[in-house]
């Protein structure tokens, strides 16, 4: 954290209502990281790997991003300052919700992501789906770790789609990607589905449905 008053002692607690700027860095994977299983990261694709099902993806902060800062059980929204988009490190500004010396930071700032129902985004995914968290950070900044993972699928064909359903056989939980308006072609179309991070020891199954609700194809990965 950096105080608005240059003479503030960074070793003392911030006061409730004090305007502060904090630095939040996304813990992006290195080139050897895998998208699934394992924790990834949030907010705007920086690049697309040649193999989206077995590569590393780097994401960055985007203009308008917000994080939630919690102190002693009280929370406030901090907003990315103008001019700091397009980087994995952002400067966020807001008002301290309470006095204290222990802080947690969460992204997104509002609403718990619903991974069960997702919408297709061309060459990307809904930024708000990739939860990140940091706690007990020092006053010089926070490093946010992603709480979810990212699965990439490449499909070809000629059908108009309605949805793609990913199932975890170990938990029976499903993650549905709505694809209304998307039509496959001979060129591979990339679909990203955000899922809870974990080992997925029993693999997963994928079911693809056309615009009429009929099954087009299904496959499993052990």
Tens-digit pLDDT profile for residues 29-48: 654 433 333 344 333 344 44
- Residues 200-218: pLDDT tens digits? 778 889 999 999 999 999 9
Cα dihedral 64, 67, 71, 76 sign: positive
End-to-end CA distance of the chain: 45
The answer for 181, left when phi > 0, alpha when psi is -120 to 50, beta otherwise, is left
Distance separating alpha carbons of residues 12 and 23, to the nearest angstrom = 18
pTM, 2 dp: 0.78
pLDDT reading at 219 higher than 70: yes
Tokens representing residue 115 in the block:
């991974």
pLDDT-wise least confident of 4-8, 55-59, 87-91, 129-133: 4-8
Looking at the chain, the whole-number percentage of residues with pLDDT higher than 90 is: 38
pLDDT reading at 25 higher than 70: yes
Mean pLDDT of 55-80: 86
pLDDT-wise least confident of 2-6, 174-178, 197-201: 2-6
């Amino acid at each position: 954290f950096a105080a608005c008053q240059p003479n503030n002692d960074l070793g003392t607690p911030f006061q409730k209502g004090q305007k502060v700027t904090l630095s939040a860095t996304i813990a992006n994977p290195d080139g050897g990281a895998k998208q699934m299983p394992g924790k990834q990261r949030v907010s705007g694709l920086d690049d697309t790997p040649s193999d989206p099902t077995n590569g590393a993806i780097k994401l960055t902060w985007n203009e308008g991003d917000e994080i939630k800062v919690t102190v002693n059980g009280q929370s406030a929204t901090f907003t990315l300052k103008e001019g700091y988009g397009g980087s994995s490190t952002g400067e966020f500004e807001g008002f301290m919700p309470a006095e204290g010396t222990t802080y947690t930071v969460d992204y997104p700032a509002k609403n718990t992501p619903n991974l069960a129902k997702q919408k297709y985004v061309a060459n990307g995914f809904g930024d708000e789906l990739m939860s990140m968290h940091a706690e007990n950070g020092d006053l010089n900044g926070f490093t946010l770790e992603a709480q979810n993972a990212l699965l990439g699928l490449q499909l070809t064909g000629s059908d108009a789609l309605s949805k793609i359903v990913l199932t975890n056989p170990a938990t029976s939980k499903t993650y549905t990607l709505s694809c209304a308006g998307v039509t496959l072609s001979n060129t591979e179309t990339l679909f990203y589905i955000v899922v809870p991070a974990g080992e997925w020891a029993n693999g997963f199954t994928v079911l693809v449905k056309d615009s009429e609700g009929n099954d087009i194809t299904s496959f499993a990965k052990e």
